[in-house]
Structure 1
Amino acid sequence: MLLEIWSDVACPFCFVGKRNLEAALAQFEHADQVEVRWRSFQLAPDAPLTTQATSTEYLARKYGRSLEEAGQMQERMVAMAAEAGIEMHPDRVRMTNTRDAHRLLQLAHESGRQDALKEAFLQAYHADGEHLGDPATLRRLAVDAGLPPERVDAVLGSDEFATAVDADIEQAVEFGLQGVPAFVLDRRMGLTGAQPPEVLLQGLRTAHERAGASASG
């Protein structure tokens, strides 16, 4: 069973969604049959690599809220993350364009290290205050996650995997995805948002039953 997840490393809900999925898979009877593939999506494709704007200021601008209201939104996000076992620090977030991070995630798929790199990027962005627009930071995180240094350098020094990133984003548009994370099972059914583990578990079971029925039919 193929589970594709459209996600952006700059999305805090995607971090929660990843943790909830892990909890669901831990309870799923056929988890060994699930292939997880992280797909590219950018919440702010036009974002600069470097900005002085804080994440609170960005939220306030994006949703037309005051800084106080945006701060309250972040507090709720931090509480939701804590319930999933994640420690988030919005005050440390360094806003940036995530395109290069997505290109490296495409590379990571080739060597079976995509999930490890996704975890590293999410932790670095939402908790550790790392700058994911900085090539040196991206390289260090990618190599630490097990990617070959020479391939990481080749990707960062070129536009390799840009087409794959664009294709993922175009597919999301075709599917009508309005937000992330978006979980698509065997391209037959989907769930959007940071769904709780029990909802994701039910989705996995339903998709497995449908796949079995199709195979027998």
Structure 2
Amino acid sequence: MTPTVWADVRCPWCWMGHRSLAAALERRDRREPVVRASYLLDPHGEGHPGRTVREVALASWGMDEDGWRAMRDRVETAGRAFGLRIRMDGVPAIDSRPAHRLLKLAQARGVDPEHAWDLAFSALLEHNRDLGDPEVLRDLAVEMGLTAEDTDPLWSSTAFAAEVDADHRAAVEAGVRAVPTFAVGDRTLSGARSVDELVELLRVGAEEVGR
């Protein structure tokens, strides 16, 4: 029974969950393969080119400066507990679909998904790189071990778009409403869970298939 985690690269809690899952997998005697599935927090959005999440939150979400600072501080403090440096003020307000397509391409080319996702999270949330920009995604692909030319199908076709949409659709059908969501069989956990909680989820899932 293969564990699945749904996540969006836009989501700082997903980066925390990603790191927590990596630690949980390291703690187990056997390292299960994990399906890393795409989830789109805004499946119909096109992002806000040239704007940050902060700017969009203040202009469109009904959030004032005090509310933004409280949310930012909560996220950044939580991230530090996972060893992460998250810089919310500068995060670009992107459509994450192109980044998800790159992650699918990287996996198809044999790049370790755990490594690829970590690079994508770091690029956006720590270094505030615009993952809606094709040139930035080409550079990120090189950091993943691909070539810039490997990304050409992402711009000349709809390559890997169907796979991203299928992941999101499967999440909706499974009742996923927030990310990260971790699933093993019929058991699910949502949010940036502790290592202990994820170890227990993996243990119970393994027992259910007789490992």
Q: TM-score, normalised by structure 1?
A: 0.89
Aligned length: 210
Q: Which residue of 2 aligns with 1:207?
A: 205
Query: How far apart in 2 are the matches of 1:140 and 1:52?
Result: 19
- Partner letter of residue 98 of structure 1? S
- Partner letter of residue 25 of structure 1? L
Alignment of 1:1-217 (within 5 A): 1-31=1-31, 34-60=32-58, 64-113=62-111, 114-185=113-184, 187-212=185-210
Q: Deviations over 1:57-85 (max 9, x none)?
A: 43456764322112211101100000000
What is the root-mean-square deviation of aligned Cα atoms in Å?
1.8
> How far off is 1:111 after superposition?
2.5
Q: Is the 8 A contact 1:57 1:67 kept in 2?
A: no
Q: Is the 8 A contact 1:106 1:161 kept in 2?
A: yes
Query: How far apart in 1 are the matches of 2:207 and 2:61?
Result: 40
- Partner letter of residue 4 of structure 1? T
SS at match of 2:119: helix
- Partner letter of residue 30 of structure 2? H
SS at match of 2:3: strand
Change (3 A) 1:24 1:61: farther
More deviation in 34-43 or 47-56? 47-56
Structure 2 spans left out of the alignment, 5+ residues = none
Query: How far apart in 1 are the matches of 2:23 and 2:54?
Result: 30
> How far off is 1:99 after superposition?
0.6
